[in-house]
Amino acid sequence: MTCTKFPIRITIALLAAALLFGALFAAFCAPVAARATVFADGFSVKGAAAYLVDSESGTVMYAKNENDRRPIASMVKIMTALLTFEAVERGELSLSENVFVSENASGMGGSQVFLDADTEHPASQLIKAVIVCSANDACVALAERIAGSVEGFVADMNARASELGMADTHFANCTGLPAADGFSTARDVSVMFRELIKHPEYFEYSRIWLEDYVHPDGRTTSMTNTNKLVRFYNGCDGGKTGFTAEAKFCLAATAERNGMRPVAVILGGESSKERFAAVSSMLDHAFGAYERRTVVRADDILDRTLEVRAGKKRTLALTVRDDVTLFVARGADKNFELRLDLPDKIKAPVKAGDVVGKGSVIVDGNAAGQFDVVAAESVGKANLFDLLRPGR
């Protein structure tokens, strides 16, 4: 058997190539590892992308590949629900009105409540089916009613996403069924979900665990909430799941405890169990590591007054309408200041509770929250005797 020896120059060249390949491989992998952000406390969760944020202050508590564009499956319906409630707010849709179900809506595949074509259903029932059991047929019926067509509604979805600053999102449909040009990010999902939960009506439906959908002919379809955390996680009262083979297992959810409402998002989980565990872990982290601290209570008298023109009193005592709170890491010693934006004077009469200005909580030079400054007392309009009274 003959053994062939490589010339020395070839061996050196191969070694150099191997070293170069190793360096390039390390350089390629480094940014990927860096994007999987683990905060200083070492907290992390499984999943392709994740995001944990305080719904009120916008404080980010955890982020992992939060700007990676991915399919989000039925979490697209977060925007569908948001546009529905906004249409109600504008008076363009009533939740009590009957909505026509077209052949197109009735024929939608995937999750559904099996709506019959050419029937009419209360809008409240349709949005309930969307939120509770992710019904595609109900989704399309609402889209066609609000915008005249699914295409028009999808255009509205993308326009609203742009208004909300969701720069890494594009909606291809209103259901989340697989589409090559449909994508979003963990961060963007949190943005639209935080906007959705500003509507109190949403929680009337999102808290439902099990309920029958009653059709016009009397038959029923059993609806079970796809977000199992509303039953199994303390304080969870809202969320939206998503699953397709491309998107894998996704979930956005929120819970409320002690005045805190974090929002947690997971994309690309390997199993349903993994997504629920990841979101539960993020919510636990939020409630365990952070707190909402009250810095001024409603009705506390501020150390500023406002001059009253032509009033029975010359000055007006001030307070805040609602408790002013600060979202901080638990136990953190945060220095803050209250910055008030008030007019030089106010004209009588003034009623207690009238909004007379705005205020901001400033932390490290940045606004960490805003609040209304209100009159702490009523001041009537001065009469002639008041104006002639000594000492005025």
Position with higher pLDDT, 364 vs 281: 281
* Range with the poorest average pLDDT among 19-28, 190-199, 267-276, 341-350: 19-28
Length of the chain: 392
Q: How many CB atoms lie within 10 A of CB 195?
A: 19
Residue 23, pLDDT above cutoff 90 = no
d(CA 102, CA 111): 17
Q: How confident is the model at residue 375 (pLDDT cuts 50, 70, 90)?
A: very high
Q: Give DSSP secondary structure letters for 150-173.
A: HHHHHHHHHHHHHHTT-TT-B-S-
Q: How many CB atoms lie within 10 A of CB 3?
A: 4
C-alpha 57: how far from its chain's center? 11
Q: How confident is the model at residue 42 (pLDDT cuts 50, 70, 90)?
A: confident
d(CA 320, CA 316): 13
Contacts of 358 (CB under 8 A, 6+ apart): 340, 341, 370, 371, 372, 373
Question: Where exactly are the structural domains of the chain?
Answer: 49-290, 297-388
Half-sphere exposure of 47 (CA within 13 A, CB side): 40
Q: How many CB atoms lie within 10 A of CB 217?
A: 7
Average pLDDT for 33-41: 43
Q: How many CB atoms lie within 10 A of CB 16?
A: 10
Average pLDDT for 212-226: 97
H or E element in which residue 194 lies:
helix 186-196
Structure tokens at 300: 């506390």
pTM score: 0.82
d(CA 43, CA 285): 8
d(CA 171, CA 179): 9
CATH topology for 49-290? Beta-lactamase (3.40.710)
Average pLDDT for 130-141: 98
Contacts of 261 (CB under 8 A, 6+ apart): 54, 55, 56, 197, 254, 255
Residue 186, pLDDT above cutoff 50 = yes
CATH topology for 297-388? Peptidoglycan synthesis regulatory factor (PBP3), Domain 2 (2.60.410)
- Active-site annotation, residues: 74, 77, 134
Residue 106's nearest CA partner among 137, 147, 143 is: 137
Q: What does the radius of gyration of the chain's CA atoms come to, in whole angstroms?
A: 28
% of residues, the chain, pLDDT over 90: 78
Structure tokens at 16: 């150099």
* Range with the poorest average pLDDT among 16-30, 100-114, 127-141, 335-349: 16-30
Residue 339's pLDDT is what?
93
Residue 12's pLDDT is what?
31
Structure tokens at 245: 């083979």
Task: Please say whether the dihedral angle defined by the alpha carbons of residues 23, 26, 28 and 31, taken in this order, is positive or negative.
Answer: negative
Q: Are 174 and 78 in contact (CB under 8 A)?
A: no
Q: How confident is the model at residue 331 (pLDDT cuts 50, 70, 90)?
A: confident
d(CA 294, CA 361): 11
Between the CA of residue 54 and those of 234, 256, 273, what are the distances in Å? 17, 11, 24
Q: How confident is the model at residue 382 (pLDDT cuts 50, 70, 90)?
A: confident
Residue 386's pLDDT is what?
62
Average pLDDT for 105-111: 94
Average pLDDT for 152-162: 98
φ/ψ of 51, rounded to 5, equals: -155, 135
What letter would DSSP give residue 76?
G
